[in-house]
Amino acid sequence: MNGIHDMGGMEGFGPVQPEPNEPPFHSKWEARCLAMNRVMSYAKVWNIDKSRAAIEQLPPLAYLGMTYYEKWAFRLEKLLLEYRLVDADEIAAGRALRPGKELPRKLPAADVPKALTRGSYSRPAHAPARFKAGDRVRTRNIHPHTHTRLPRYARGRVGVIECVRGHHVFPDSVAIGLGENPQWLYTVLFESRELWGESADPTSKVSIEAWEPYLEAAT
Amino acid sequence: MGDHDHHDRRHEHGSELSETQLRVRALETILTEKGYVDPAALDAIIEAYETRIGPHNGAKVVAKAWVDPSFKQALLKDATAAIGTIGFASRVGDHLVAVENTPKQHNMIVCTLCSCYPWEVMGLPPTWYKSAPYRSRTVIDPRGVLADFGVTLPADTEIRVWDSTAETRFMVLPMRPEGTEGWNEDRLATLVSRDSMIGTQLARRPDESAS
């Protein structure tokens, strides 16, 4: 969806403000929030794109007004309710009112080390990649109302395939319950002027990672 | 580590922070009572990110690449596999890509759509990496963003921005500073800041302090 989360190329947010010697967490609740999100995503009830999509559905003013971990807390509540793992009256009461449901898997403390390694998103391919390194492609001008990983600034633009990354789970499908629908994934490189016009810095280039359904051949 | 967010001043005196704190605390109670979450697992995850999983891991990788040409070659070819050979606390997940800075090309990593970041080699992303200013401007004005970090690159250095729109994760292999001939890996690793592996800083020079 064309949401506020799709920030590439926007202006007016001010300078980047690095914080010297920033700690991993600024408060205890941030750490608990992160860890709960990790444990519940390990349970495999939902997937990473479903969880990104949950945050993208925040109204713009709410999105901009929340810190990173506030968004994570919001997302966890939203997904727990959506998948009926927790009920609204329990959130209101602040305690469990009925027993939990079966989860596909649970994370005991002893298994934490192995749960901190990311899984693979690569899947077997049944058809060859349509493009190869060096091919010119145009990104499609798509505006789905659901989750996509093709940023607005890079739609309808001509770039060059730099690398074939493999055959990966397709976010646009898996986020809306249509299965993993794996697709070829490419690194596509754009000249800055193709993205930002004549006033762009001619010495910069930008690449995105793009699945094959985002691309068509360009001459 | 206090319960006041000093990076988020609007919450310092308001009730909003305590509301989020209460909600998160209530969630933990509910999830624990329902048997979904083992609080000891939460402790172990937090402990891992506070101690073992951080930019010191990435710094070791960079330092090794600076002294070992065959490792560097392997790293640039397949970072996941190469890092798997040097014994991390845990295996690094698939799809990690290392990109090399040279006098001709400087690399920067961003995620314009959320905050994708190579956690396993660099730990949790800093707040600025997840912020709207960084996510919005890096793709359109990378030199302006570098200026926010006090970095000015030669006009003829090409800047390559990598937008992490998939599960591919990127880390920058910064250039080895001059004046470090003969340094061993441990000493070199002290020059490799987190930001130099994101591409918003260069590796420290020997005369710069490690603060």
**Displacement of CA A71 from its chain's centroid (Å):** 13
Q: Are A87 and A34 contained in the same domain?
A: yes
Residue A7 lies in a domain: no
Q: Are A50 and A110 contained in the same domain?
A: yes
Contact between chains at A209 and B156 (C-beta distance less than 8 A): no
Q: Are A103 and A171 contained in the same domain?
A: no
Q: Is B116 a catalytic residue?
A: yes
A106-118 pLDDT, tens digit per residue, is 999 999 988 888 8
- What phi, psi does A116 have (nearest 5°)? -90, 0
Q: What is the mean pLDDT of residues A114-135?
A: 93
Residue A79 lies in a domain: yes
Q: Which residues contact B23 (CB under 8 A, 6 or more apart)?
A: A73, A77
Q: Which of B15, B18, B90, B116 does the annotation list as catalytic?
A: B116
Contact between chains at A187 and B160 (C-beta distance less than 8 A): no
Q: What is the mean pLDDT of residues A120-149?
A: 97
Chain A residues in contact with B49 by the CB 8 A cut-off are: 24-25, 31, 34
Q: pLDDT tens track of chain B, all 211 residues? A: 344 444 444 444 455 557 899 999 999 999 999 999 999 999 999 999 999 999 999 999 999 999 999 999 999 999 999 998 887 645 677 899 999 999 999 999 999 999 999 999 999 999 999 999 999 999 999 999 999 999 999 999 999 999 999 999 999 999 999 999 999 999 999 999 999 999 999 999 999 865 4
Two tokens, residue B193: 């800041």
Q: Is B140 on the interface with A (CB under 8 A)?
A: yes
Q: Is B18 a catalytic residue?
A: no
Checking if the pLDDT of A37 tops 50, the result is yes
Count of Cβ atoms closer than 10 Å to residue A168 Cβ: 24
Chain B residues in contact with A67 by the CB 8 A cut-off are: 5, 8, 11
B187–chain A nearest CA distance, Å: 20
- What phi, psi does A198 have (nearest 5°)? -65, -25
Q: What is the mean pLDDT of residues A43-55?
A: 96
Give the integer Cα–Cα distance in Å for B55 and B78. Answer: 19
Domain of A166 in residue numbering reads as 136-217
Q: Are A54 and A100 contained in the same domain?
A: yes
Q: Are A149 and A102 contained in the same domain?
A: no
Residue in A closest to B106 by C-alpha: A204
Comparison of pLDDT for A155 and A119, the residue scoring more: A155
Residue in B closest to A150 by C-alpha: B165
Q: CATH number of the domain that A96 lies in?
A: 1.10.472.20
A69-88 pLDDT, tens digit per residue, is 999 999 999 999 999 999 99
Q: Are A142 and A111 contained in the same domain?
A: no
Mean pLDDT, all residues of chain A: 96
Among the three residues A115, A144, A177, which one is the final residue of a domain in this structure? A115
Chain A residues in contact with B161 by the CB 8 A cut-off are: 204-207
B170 beta partners: B97
Q: Are A155 and A203 contained in the same domain?
A: yes
Q: Are A107 and A155 contained in the same domain?
A: no
Q: Are B24 and A33 in contact (CB under 8 A)?
A: yes
Residue B112: the pLDDT is 98
Query: In this prediction, what percent of chain A has a pLDDT beyond 90?
Result: 96
Among the three residues A83, A115, A147, which one is the final residue of a domain in this structure? A115
Q: What is the mean pLDDT of residues A16-36?
A: 96
Q: CATH number of the domain that A209 lies in?
A: 2.30.30.50
Strands B158-163 and A204-211: parallel
Residue B16: the pLDDT is 56
pTM over 0.90: yes
Tell me the residues of chain B between 154 and 183 that have a Cβ less than 8 Å away from chain A: 155-169
Q: Are A55 and A5 in contact (CB under 8 A)?
A: yes
B65-124 pLDDT, tens digit per residue, is 999 999 999 999 999 999 988 876 456 778 999 999 999 999 999 999 999 999 999 999
ipTM, 2 decimals?
0.97
Q: Are A109 and A146 contained in the same domain?
A: no
B20, B25, B115: residue with CB nearest A70: B20
Overall number of domains in chain A: 2
Q: What single letter denotes the amino acid at residue A158? A: V
Q: Is B114 a catalytic residue?
A: yes
